[in-house]
Amino acid sequence: MHTYIKKDLLEKQRAYIWGMMCSKTASKVPAERNEKAAQKRAMIIEILADIDTLLTIANSPPTPASATQTKTPWDYQQEAAIQVQKENKENGGERVNLLSLDGGGIRGLVVIQMLSELEKKFGADLLSSFGWLGGTSTGAILALALSQGKSVAHCRSMYFRLKDELFCGERPYDGALLDSFLRSEFGEDTTLADITSKKVMVTTCLANVCPPQLKLLRNYQLQCSDVENSNLGFGSPKNVLVREAARCSSAAPTYFPPFDKKYVDGGLLANNPCPQLLTDVQLVNTSLRMAIGRADGTIVECSRAWSYCISAPFFRYSPNLSFAVELDETDDLKLINIMWGTKIGRADGTIVECSRAWSYCISAPFFRYSPNLSFAVELDETDDLKLINIMWGTKVYMNEESTSVGQLIDLLKSCAR
């Protein structure tokens, strides 16, 4: 998007939001806390609906970001993978699409906004195009909700209710409130085995061992014995409640207490669950081949996996020179600062590059969307104006990524036919 157009849009957006917030707040009558919260959520949804008209302010269509960039080796790989998928479709090949959702607390609203923008291009049945969902922390809550058939609009309302009900007072927040919230959303006795329309996987971290271990909670198993499944980390979906899976994955340290005194946020070890999701596809396919004894090695369930990865922005701590560690430095606090800033919670960088390379090795197109916002937003942000601004920023970002979004939508529609 041209700079002057973008600046004009942002200025008008801020003025518009501020005017809407002020006028609607002034007109509200005193009410109970819950009624006020409901009115506020309705107001925000109305603002987001009206704000779409601001995208028509520009006199000329935005210049897609990809149109002005020199092609990279990844671009050539992507084009080749897309061509293979088109040929595979023409030959009647089977395919499955993967959707991977990063962690990020209330920044899950960014993921929701991206899905909302894609729905406008594809249609309300966007999620029916994805057979596999994977999520970490806030992404796990979304993956589980979407796999239960909840709409993107419902998830947006759910997140505004979540921040109003849970982020009250000082950290750490009341774990009982989170338990109650997840129980109301996912049901008291619903297990992962009850989710049958999609394969879903969420991450958590077993923190009462040294070193901590990544654990994956799934609604599926391999085509092998219970003992073999257990040895490979595939527990029985019947033994895991959906609300507990969400609780395990979202127990962010210093924000909420561990679940069962041992499970914490999966983002500590896998904030981007795409590698784990790709691994599971390969394991499931291999177990299917072994189970039916296909000598030719044909993948039965899915011959090609389109890996589509969507991310909420994760603001990493960047240590300045005062925290630089010399080779002979033994200061534990400094080392922890470096580790936290460069490793824990990473969702981008080499994790994405490895997932991208893996996808291209199986001729699977790979799409990743992760807006770079102009300001940091905490995991427990409650300021409505900030949240609306990051959702607006996401709309602008997806508009700038129109070329990539168009490719994705075309592929998903061809898969649906």
Q: Are 267 and 255 in contact (CB under 8 A)?
A: no
Nearest 5°: phi and psi at 367?
-125, 130
**CA–CA separation, 258 vs 249, rounded Å?**
10
Q: Helix (H, G, I), strand (E, B), or coil: what is residue 284?
A: helix
In the set 100, 116, 147, 265, the catalytic residue is 265
Q: How many CA atoms lie within 13 A of 3 on its CB side?
A: 0
**CA–CA separation, 15 vs 12, rounded Å?**
5
Query: Helix H segments across 51-137?
Result: 73-90, 108-122
Q: Helix (H, G, I), strand (E, B), or coil: what is residue 135?
A: strand
Q: Are 104 and 314 in contact (CB under 8 A)?
A: yes
**CA–CA separation, 111 vs 104, rounded Å?**
9
In the set 100, 137, 287, 363, the catalytic residue is 137
Q: In angstroms, how far is CA 295 from the centroid of its own chain?
A: 38
User: Residue 246: what residue type?
Assistant: A
- Non-local (6+) Cβ contacts of 260 within 8 A are 248
Query: Helix H segments across 171-251?
Result: 175-186, 226-231, 242-249
For the chain, give percent helix, strand, coil, nearest 5.
Answer: 55, 10, 35
Asked if 179 is an active-site residue, the reply is no
Asked if 137 is an active-site residue, the reply is yes
Helix axes 33-50, 384-400, angle to 10 degrees: 20
Q: Are 39 and 69 in contact (CB under 8 A)?
A: no
Q: Are 272 and 136 in contact (CB under 8 A)?
A: yes
**CA–CA separation, 85 vs 417, rounded Å?**
14
Q: Largest Cα–Cα distance in the chain?
A: 72
**CA–CA separation, 22 vs 25, rounded Å?**
5
Which are the catalytic amino acids? Answer: 137, 265
